[in-house]
């Protein structure tokens, strides 16, 4: 993994930060192995998955438990072997091939911390490992010949839990990667906004985003959501229309970039013209910033989610979208018509990072609040957590139809809903690094740096 020249501030001292990151990772891994009764850990980057009845494969995506050790995101069938007290070994897959170009042996800021062993195939990888793996835990999918390796256990749940729980607390190295991912994402978003202003179709807006990030779609942490007009009401909208609509009303773009294996997750909403929808976007941006101000260590994330509904009820009333007071809007479930999803999630090696519900590494999950089944995070925030903050306000036809058919119908001003529904919806999303006294807004800082040319 090389540093992208498109990252304006990739000068952060990754080399100096990676060593302490790896040392801390090694210490907590050693403790987890001892607690769970293993002597070593073997982590697989993943294998290429073939398309059914074809000789092609799907785009490769490295497994998160592998990426926590090394920023190699594009090389399948690599392994990291961790034995406490020893230098970690990277078994680097470098086949003899003329159909595809093998990846070069890595030479970057992190490689000095590993013993790197090139391996032409899985047989060579097994030969490079200790003869007995009876007390080794393996993390990854079954690659066909795994049974013959005689590992102690495959994907032991208790060990995975012990490894996943502390992943929420990011090291300074991980925070540097997340800042860089946000800077790349901000560049893409600014280019997408310009394309929208120029009248581009969804497909062309994505091309502008990719070019500005300097990444292919398969390099991104997730396929971008680029939704014009009413398509913004589809929460995980997956279509890229190639023709621009005749009337351009709005753009909702949810898109992130990746750096060193770490993801950014950013959403912005734009109106094509001044008016009620533009005013509603501004109201939601203010709401989102109010929620960000509540984020700090010791805060129960479920309380932040419920606060979002309280604030949304006021926005709905001020926009004349409801005819009831905010308390009744919450009690009746009207706010959930307009905001059906969770307020955010952990972010890191995965977009929805592991461990969002864990009470402790030893067991037990923290329940979601009643009536809010889609919340992806229920833990109390701690220093080093990185979370998304993504309130929304949508005009989703199936949810509106259900509300029209029951007691909630009298609480909603349908003429206002009908006038705004063609704009789809609004979401404003930033990535926040939690500290003892507040949070660092990685996304707003990235946009400010991009605007200032840094």
Q: What is the DSSP string of 59-77?
A: PP---HHHHTT----S-SS
> Does one domain contain both 135 and 214?
no
Assigned domain for 363 exists? yes
Report the alpha-carbon distance of residue 347 to residue 263 in Å, rounded.
Answer: 7
Using the 3D structure, point to which of 155, 189, 223 is the last residue of a domain. 155
Phi, psi of 287 (to 5 degrees): -60, -45
The ranges of the chain with pLDDT < 70 are 1-12, 454
Instruction: Kindly state the DSSP code that residue 169 receives in the 8-state scheme.
Output: B
Residue in this structure with the two tokens 């309130």, named with its chain if needed:
391
Structure tokens at 188: 């893409």
Q: Name the DSSP class of 389.
A: E
77/43 same-domain check: yes
Please indicate, yes or no, whether residues 343 and 213 belong to a single structural domain of this protein. yes
* 229-246 exposure pattern, b = at least 16 Cβ within 10 A, e = fewer: bbbbbbbebeebbeebee
Same-domain check for residues 222 and 369:
yes
Q: Is 6 part of a structural domain of the chain?
A: no
Residue 163 lies in a domain: no
Q: Domain check: are 197 and 298 in the same one? A: yes
Task: Tell me the Ramachandran region of residue 214: left when phi exceeds 0, alpha when psi lies from -120 to 50, beta otherwise.
Answer: left
pLDDT in tens, 109-121: 999 999 999 999 9
- Residue 181 has what pLDDT? 98
Q: In this structure, are 118 and 213 located in the same domain? A: no
Angle formed at CA 169 by CA 2 and CA 341, multiple of 5 degrees: 95
Neighbours of 294 (CB within 10 A): 15
Q: Is 128 helix (H, G, I), strand (E, B) or coil?
A: coil
Considering the domain architecture, whether residues 96 and 194 belong to the same structural domain is answered as: no
Helix (H) or strand (E) holding 285: helix 276-292
pLDDT at 1: 40
| pLDDT per residue as tens digits for the range 318-370 | 999 999 999 999 999 999 999 999 999 999 999 999 999 999 999 999 999 99
**pLDDT on residue 453:** 77
Strand partners, 431: 388
Closest CA to 304 of 141, 116, 160, 432: 432
Q: Is residue 69 exposed (0-12), middle (13-18) or buried (19+ Cβ within 10 Å)?
A: buried
Does some domain include residue 432? yes
How many of the other CB atoms lie within 10 Å of CB of 177? Answer: 28
Partners of residue 358 on adjacent β-strands: 365
- 3-state secondary structure at position 152: coil
> Which domain CATH number covers 114?
3.40.350.10
**3-state class (DSSP) for residue 101:** coil
Give the pLDDT confidence score for residue 3 in this predicted structure: 43
Q: Which helix (H) or strand (E) holds 183?
A: helix 172-197
Tokens of 297: 């260590």
Same domain assignment for residues 187 and 143? no
Residue 444 burial (10 A CB sphere; 0-12, 13-18, 19+): middle
103 and 186 fall within a common domain: no
pLDDT of residue 13: 86
CB atoms near residue 17 (< 10 Å): 19
* 428 domain-assigned: yes
> Are 258 and 221 spatial neighbours (Cβ–Cβ below 8 Å)?
yes
CATH number where 292 lies: 3.90.230.10
Question: Does residue 140 lie within any of the structural domains?
Answer: yes
In this structure, are 393 and 279 located in the same domain?
yes
298: region left, alpha or beta (phi > 0 left; psi from -120 to 50 alpha): left
Number of Cβ within a 10 Å radius of residue 447: 20
Q: What is the DSSP letter of 163?
A: H
Q: What is the pLDDT of residue 12?
A: 55
Q: How many domains does the chain have?
A: 2
Other CB atoms within 10 A of residue 435 CB: 16
Q: How far apart are the first and last CA of the chain?
A: 22
Say yes or no: 129 and 205 in one domain: no
For 15, the enclosing helix (H) or strand (E) is helix 14-36
Residues 56-92 have pLDDT tens digits of 999 999 999 999 999 999 999 999 999 999 999 999 9
pLDDT attached to residue 454: 64
CA distance 68 to 73: 10
Query: Which residues have C-beta within 8 Å of that of residue 386, sequence separation ≥ 6?
Result: 168, 170, 174, 175, 178, 346, 347, 348, 353, 431, 432, 433, 434, 442
Q: Which residues are bridge partners to 430 per DSSP?
A: 389
Last residue of a domain, one of 111, 132, 155: 155
Cβ proximity of 122 and 145 under 8 Å:
yes
In terms of residue numbers, what domain contains 235? Answer: 169-451
Instruction: State the burial class of residue 403 (Cβ atoms within 10 Å of its Cβ: 0-12, 13-18, 19+).
Output: buried
Question: Is residue 2 in some structural domain?
Answer: no
Pairwise CA distance, residues 377 & 389, whole Å: 11
76 and 189 co-located in one domain: no
| Residue that terminates a domain, selected from 155, 180, 213 | 155
Contact 1, 209 (CB under 8 A): no
Residue 218: inside a domain: yes
What would you measure as the largest C-alpha separation in the chain, in angstroms?
73
Which is nearest to 232 in space by CA: 429, 428, 427, 425?
A: 425
Amino acid 6: pLDDT: 45
pTM, to two decimals: 0.95
């Amino acid at each position: 993994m090389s540093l992208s020249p498109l990252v304006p501030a990739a000068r952060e001292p990754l080399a100096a930060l990676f060593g302490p990151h790896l040392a801390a990772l090694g210490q907590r891994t050693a403790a987890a192995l001892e607690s769970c009764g293993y002597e070593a850990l073997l982590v697989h980057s993943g294998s290429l998955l073939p398309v059914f009845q074809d000789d092609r494969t799907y785009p490769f995506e490295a497994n998160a438990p592998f990426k926590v050790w090394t920023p190699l995101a594009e090389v399948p069938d690599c392994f990291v072997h961790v034995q406490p007290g020893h230098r970690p070994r990277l078994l680097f897959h470098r086949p003899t091939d003329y159909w595809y170009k093998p990846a070069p042996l890595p030479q970057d800021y992190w490689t000095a911390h590993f013993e790197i062993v090139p391996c032409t195939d899985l047989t060579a990888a097994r030969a490079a490992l200790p003869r007995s793996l009876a007390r080794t835990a393996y993390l990854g999918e079954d690659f066909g010949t795994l049974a013959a390796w005689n590992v102690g256990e495959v994907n032991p749940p208790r060990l995975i839990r012990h490894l996943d729980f502390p992943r929420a607390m990011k090291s300074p190295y991980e925070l540097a990667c997340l800042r860089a991912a946000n800077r790349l994402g901000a560049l893409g978003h600014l280019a997408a906004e310009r394309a929208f202003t120029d009248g581009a179709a969804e497909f062309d807006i994505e091309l502008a985003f990719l070019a500005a990030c300097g990444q292919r779609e398969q390099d991104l942490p997730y396929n971008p959501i680029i939704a014009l007009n009413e398509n913004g009401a589809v929460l995980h909208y997956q279509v890229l229309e190639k023709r621009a609509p005749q009337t351009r009303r709005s753009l909702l773009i949810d898109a992130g970039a990746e750096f060193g294996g770490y993801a950014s997750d950013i959403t912005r909403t734009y109106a094509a013209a001044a008016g009620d929808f533009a005013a509603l976007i501004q109201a939601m941006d203010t709401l989102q910033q109010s929620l960000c101000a509540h984020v700090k260590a010791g805060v129960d994330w479920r309380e932040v989610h419920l606060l979002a509904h309280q604030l949304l009820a006021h926005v709905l009333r001020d926009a004349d979208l409801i005819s009831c007071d905010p308390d009744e809007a919450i009690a009746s479930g009207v706010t959930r018509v307009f905001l059906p999803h969770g307020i955010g999630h952990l972010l890191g090696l995965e977009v929805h990072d592991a461990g969002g519900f864990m009470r402790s590494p030893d067991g037990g999950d923290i329940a979601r609040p009643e009536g809010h089944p889609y919340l992806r995070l229920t833990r109390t925030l701690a220093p080093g957590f990185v979370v998304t903050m993504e309130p929304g306000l949508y005009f989703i036809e199936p949810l509106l139809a259900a509300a029209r058919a029951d007691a909630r119908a009298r609480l909603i001003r349908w003429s206002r809903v009908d006038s705004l529904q063609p704009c789809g919806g609004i979401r404003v999303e930033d990535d926040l690094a939690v500290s003892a006294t507040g949070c660092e807004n990685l996304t707003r800082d990235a946009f400010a740096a991009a605007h200032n040319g840094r």
